[in-house]
Amino acid sequence: MMSEKSIYQKNDMVTVTIEDAGMDGEGIGKVDGYTLFIKDAVIGDQVEAKIMKAKKNYAYARLEKVLAPSPFRVQPLCDYARVCGGCQMQAMSYDEQLKFKERKIFHDLVRIGGFTEEEIEKVMEPIVGMDEPFYYRNKAQYPVGTDKDGNLVAGFYAGRTHSIIANTDCKLGITVNQQILEAVLSFMKENHISAYDEKLHKGLVRHVLIRCGFTTKEVMVCLVINGKSFPKERELVDCLLGLKLEDQGREWNITSICTSSNTKDTNVIMGDSFDVLFGKGHITDYIGDVAFQISPLSFYQVNPMQTKKLYELALEYANLSGDETVWDLYCGIGTISLFLAKKAGKVYGVEIIPQAIDNARENASINHIGNAEFFVGKAEEVLPEKYEKEQIRADVIVVDPPRKGCDEKCLNTMVKMKPERIVYVSCDPATLARDLKYLRENGYEVKRVRGVDQFPQTVHVETVALLTKKAR
């Protein structure tokens, strides 16, 4: 095979102005038509960068020096933003992050969806951002380990490695996380309880999981352990319950303390089950007026404020009058289904993970919602079966698929069912664009599109689209 010749070689220095940001938030700039991908460079920066990996038409380069900072460059709130890599966009002003996300949706719809720019301009509404784009996560998972001096630490894995950098103050979570983590670390130190060592597969405490209900102020602490049980359960409970948790004047209460045994040599954080040391084994939180029980193992949206806005938007797009038959495909624990149920005649949820459907049914029951029914299975299999064999119809179909989007068989059945409206909730604008193209070629038109920023400081963006059946 011929080797790819490049005008640049490894270790060459280049000076470039950043014009765009890529999929992972990296800066993109061009020199003589040659494209450079530079992590940590912000749109508008003029930078000096060192080529790390050169291909024929593009190269990856490392940011060496910001020669002239972009007007959008800001001081990250977190000292570890660059090493951590969890937040790809903290060095960019929040307004500019939102614009970046809007542009991403726009361009994907044009490039992949085949829409004209005018068509998109007509239907696209301004992205829904946050007033306070930090401290929004209701779930934190910190790995615990030992640093090179033998101190117990909790923090994060340094980008793509397995060494833990100590930092208990992630700015995306609530500030009480830090209090809890420091208390757990001191407790471990005083009681000679070891941290897990990944390389040796030895030591007890692997991760600390903290989940909180933003509306109820309930907090769950779950220690993931490499063993069957925790040696000083009572003492740990007393220690944690003794904490007075406060953040920005709001009081939080630890109402659930658990351990989850994970003795496998794996990257998966949680074990398959959990034991309750104190409280109920779940906390409760609300989205709007629907209550959800969250266990250490449940999937639950991590940004409750924006989730509420997202679901309200989906509900608005669904435009329910009270007697519609609604399908919620890829329903997870039934969050959207239950949110819509009160305004619909009947809701059917479909989800591939059986435990999530168990949660969905429980959540329906605690909210006394009797018009929601849930099926376990693949959307692309359950939907055709229920439609073709049982003739269950649809007035509105809501989908919220994972990043890879909807299976074509699923889209095809949706079209055959001829719902008046389709509401597409997407976590990847590229697959959204692909699927909207299909729906548009098969009798539907896109009426409204709107981004919702569920993950400020990161490159991820959620989008909601409304399609209606074309008049024939």
- 423 is a site residue for ligand SAH (CB under 6 A): no
The one segment of 16-24, 39-47, 163-171, 376-384 that binds ligand SAH by CB under 6 A: 376-384
Let me know the angle formed at the C-alpha of 116 by 111 and 122, rounded to the nearest 5 degrees.
Answer: 120
Choose between 108 and 462: whose C-beta lies nearer to ligand SAH. Answer: 462
Q: Which of 88, 90, 298, 301 binds ligand SAH (CB under 6 A)?
A: 301
Classified as helix, coil or strand, 109 is: helix
- Give the span between the Cα atoms of 365 and 352, in whole angstroms: 20
- 335 is a site residue for ligand SAH (CB under 6 A): yes
Longest dimension (CA), the chain: 74
Q: How far is the CB of 22 from ligand SAH (least distance, A)?
A: 24
* CA nearest neighbour of 437 among 396, 399, 465: 465
- 403 is a site residue for ligand SAH (CB under 6 A): no
- 350 is a site residue for ligand SAH (CB under 6 A): yes
Q: How far is the CB of 189 from ligand SAH (least distance, A)?
A: 38
Position 285: which residue type?
D
Q: Which of 136, 330, 374, 375 binds ligand SAH (CB under 6 A)?
A: 330
Q: Are the beta carbons of 306 and 283 closer than 8 angstroms?
A: no
The one segment of 69-77, 80-88, 290-298, 400-408 that binds ligand SAH by CB under 6 A: 400-408
Distances (CA, A) of 164 to 83, 87, 137, 145, 174: 11, 17, 21, 7, 21
Q: How far is the CB of 329 from ligand SAH (least distance, A)?
A: 6
- 453 is a site residue for ligand SAH (CB under 6 A): no
Q: Which of 356, 411, 436, 467 binds ligand SAH (CB under 6 A)?
A: 356
- 26 is a site residue for ligand SAH (CB under 6 A): no
The one segment of 108-116, 246-254, 289-297, 327-335 that binds ligand SAH by CB under 6 A: 327-335
What residues act catalytically? 427
Q: Which of 25, 281, 304, 332 binds ligand SAH (CB under 6 A)?
A: 332
Q: How many residues bind ligand SAH (CB under 6 A)?
A: 18
Choose between 70 and 307: whose C-beta lies nearer to ligand SAH. Answer: 307
Classified as helix, coil or strand, 88 is: coil
What length does the chain have? 472
**Beta strands in 239-329, from DSSP E residues, in sequence order:** 245-247, 250-261, 275-279, 283-287, 290-294, 325-329
Classified as helix, coil or strand, 364 is: helix
Choose between 325 and 335: whose C-beta lies nearer to ligand SAH. Answer: 335
Which residues inside 160-199 make contact with ligand SAH, applying CB under 6 A? none
Q: How far is the CB of 460 from ligand SAH (least distance, A)?
A: 13
- 351 is a site residue for ligand SAH (CB under 6 A): yes
Sign of CA dihedral 415, 417, 422, 426: negative
Q: In this structure, are strands 34-39 and 124-128 parallel, antiparallel, or unpaired?
A: unpaired
- Give the span between the Cα atoms of 51 and 378, in whole angstroms: 45
Distances (CA, A) of 307 to 138, 218, 348: 11, 18, 20
- Give the span between the Cα atoms of 459 and 363, in whole angstroms: 31
> Residue 298: how many CA atoms within 13 Å on its side-chain side?
27
- 378 is a site residue for ligand SAH (CB under 6 A): yes
- Other CB atoms within a 10 A radius of the CB of residue 378 amount to 15
- 102 is a site residue for ligand SAH (CB under 6 A): no
- 331 is a site residue for ligand SAH (CB under 6 A): yes
Q: How far is the CB of 112 from ligand SAH (least distance, A)?
A: 20
- 336 is a site residue for ligand SAH (CB under 6 A): yes
- 18 is a site residue for ligand SAH (CB under 6 A): no
Q: Which of 353, 388, 418, 441 binds ligand SAH (CB under 6 A)?
A: 353
The one segment of 95-103, 157-165, 183-191, 399-407 that binds ligand SAH by CB under 6 A: 399-407
Question: Could you say which DSSP state residue 149 is in?
Answer: T
**Which of 357-361's residues contact partners 24+ apart within 8 Å by CB, and which partners?**
359/293, 359/295, 359/298, 359/333, 359/334, 360/331, 360/332, 360/333, 360/334, 361/334
- Other CB atoms within a 10 A radius of the CB of residue 168 amount to 20
- 352 is a site residue for ligand SAH (CB under 6 A): yes
Q: Which of 59, 188, 379, 459 binds ligand SAH (CB under 6 A)?
A: 379
- Give the span between the Cα atoms of 280 and 282, in whole angstroms: 5
Classified as helix, coil or strand, 21 is: strand
* CA nearest neighbour of 342 among 392, 264, 287, 305: 287
The one segment of 172-180, 347-355, 436-444, 446-454 that binds ligand SAH by CB under 6 A: 347-355
Q: How far is the CB of 136 from ligand SAH (least distance, A)?
A: 16
Q: Which of 26, 40, 400, 453 binds ligand SAH (CB under 6 A)?
A: 400
Instruction: List interacting residues with ligand SAH (CB under 6 A).
Output: 299, 301, 330-332, 335-336, 350-353, 356, 378-380, 400-402
